[in-house]
Structure 1
Amino acid sequence: MLENNLSQLEQLVGDLVQENKALQEANQQIRSELAQLKDENDALQMSALEQEELHSTTAARIQALVELASRSPEAGPSPAQQ
């Protein structure tokens, strides 16, 4: 009976070792994917900041043009308005 219990214990330990190895491999894969996703996230955040800066610059230029156009009423209509 002791021999039977010892065999079962050896089998369980072997199964646990295999499961642990599989979990470690899965964990490493997940860590690798996480690192890639972090890099992608950083790139997307940088792109979003650049787009926001470009949008702000464009909005400021448009506002300046609108102000310039509204300050010069003595100017005639533009060729597009004729």
Structure 2
Amino acid sequence: MLEATLAQLEGLVAELLQQNQTLTASCQQLEQQLQQAREENDALQMAALEQEEQQGATLARLQALVQRAGASSAA
């Protein structure tokens, strides 16, 4: 009986070690994916800020053109 219990326990320990190894590999893969997602997010945020700056500059130029056009038509 003790031998059977020990054998069963050894089997369970081996199964748990295998599951732990599988989970560790999955965790590492998820950490890599998370890092990639963070890097992509940072790049997208930078691109959005640059685009916002460009749009602001374009808006300022358009407003200046409208003012000049309005001033020249008033004169």
Q: TM-score range by the shorter chain?
A: over 0.9
Instruction: Give unmatched runs, 5+ long, in structure 1.
Output: 76-82
Structure 2: how far apart are the matches of 1:74 and 1:64?
15
Structure 1: how far apart are the matches of 2:54 and 2:48?
10
The match for 1:21 is 21
Task: Give the percent of matched residue pairs that are identical in Structure 1 and Structure 2.
Answer: 53
Q: Provide the aligned length of Structure 1 versus Structure 2.
A: 75
Question: TM-score, length-normalised on structure 1?
Answer: 0.87
Deviation by residue 1:44-70 (Cα, 9 ceiling, x = unmatched): 100000000000000010001001110
Question: TM-score, length-normalised on structure 2?
Answer: 0.95
Matched residue SS, 1:72? helix
The match for 2:60 is 60
Aligned pair 1:49/2:75, yes or no? no
More helix by percentage: 2
Q: Runs in 1 of length 4+ with deviation above 4 angstroms?
A: none
Structure 2: how far apart are the matches of 1:26 and 1:62?
53
Instruction: Give unmatched runs, 5+ long, in structure 2.
Output: none
Structure (1 or 2) with the larger CA radius of gyration = 1
**RMSD of Structure 2 on Structure 1 (CA):** 1.1
